[in-house]
Amino acid sequence: MKKILAIVVLVTSFSAMADSSTGCGLGSLIWKENTIISALFRSTTNHSFSSQLFGITSGTSGCSQHSLVKRDMAPVYYAEANKEELKIDMARGEGEYLTTFAEALGCPSNLKKQFSNETQKNFSKIFPTSNTTPLEMLNSVKAVIKENSSLQGQCTYASI
């Protein structure tokens, strides 16, 4: 009986020390108290359902999205927030929004002008209708980049 009690105390002590690592996920949404037992249940729930991993990747379940995931999503967020301005800049073949979009797609500085020229040249592919969504526009821009031998290997987020 003493051995079992010692194991329980040891396990709960470790989970209490690791309490900050159970700060998000399904477990943290269910077991809100800040006690040793709650920490054990949070940790067990998170590990059983992999909810903390999913939460960190998606930014849900009380978790902050991991910086690597946020960085990969930068072109998507930028396209959604600036679709109309990008449409104008692409039609003109230049502009601040288009230059920043090239950066979000990981295009090096020396290829930003070429990126702008390609988006202008392929404007009708990128915006085939007036109802083109930001995500459709982004996917079309990535396809344009992949078709261009100079941009293809240089714009790092175009392959995502």
pLDDT at 77: 85
Token pair of 135 as six digits: 């995500």
Q: Is the pLDDT of residue 14 over 50?
A: no
Q: Is the pLDDT of residue 34 over 50?
A: yes
The percent of residues above 70 in pLDDT, for the chain, comes to 55
What average pLDDT is seen over the chain?
A: 76
pLDDT at 18: 45
Question: DSSP H helical segments within 18-111, as ranges?
Answer: 26-30, 36-49, 51-58, 67-81, 83-92, 96-104
Check residue 67 and give left, alpha or beta (phi > 0: left; psi -120 to 50: alpha): alpha
Mean pLDDT, residues 44-62: 56
The tens digit of pLDDT for each residue in 64-89 reads: 555 444 456 778 888 988 999 999 99
Which is more confident, 69 or 121?
Answer: 121
pLDDT at 155: 87
Mean pLDDT, residues 52-57: 52
pLDDT at 21: 47
Which is more confident, 139 or 69?
Answer: 139
By the 8 A CB rule, do 101 and 42 touch? Answer: no
Span of 12-16, 29-33, 37-41, 155-159 with lowest mean pLDDT: 12-16
Which residues, 6 or more positions from 61, have their beta carbon under 8 angstroms from its beta carbon?
24, 25, 26, 28, 29, 51, 52, 54, 55
Q: Cα(127)–Cα(104) distance, rounded to whole angstroms?
A: 19
pLDDT at 73: 72
pLDDT at 127: 96
Q: How many CA atoms lie within 13 A of 62 on its CB side?
A: 16
CA nearest to 145, candidates 120, 124, 119, 127: 119
Q: Cα(76)–Cα(110) distance, rounded to whole angstroms?
A: 23
Provide the angle, in degrees to the nearest 10, between the axes of the packed helices 67-81 and 96-104. 150
pLDDT at 153: 84
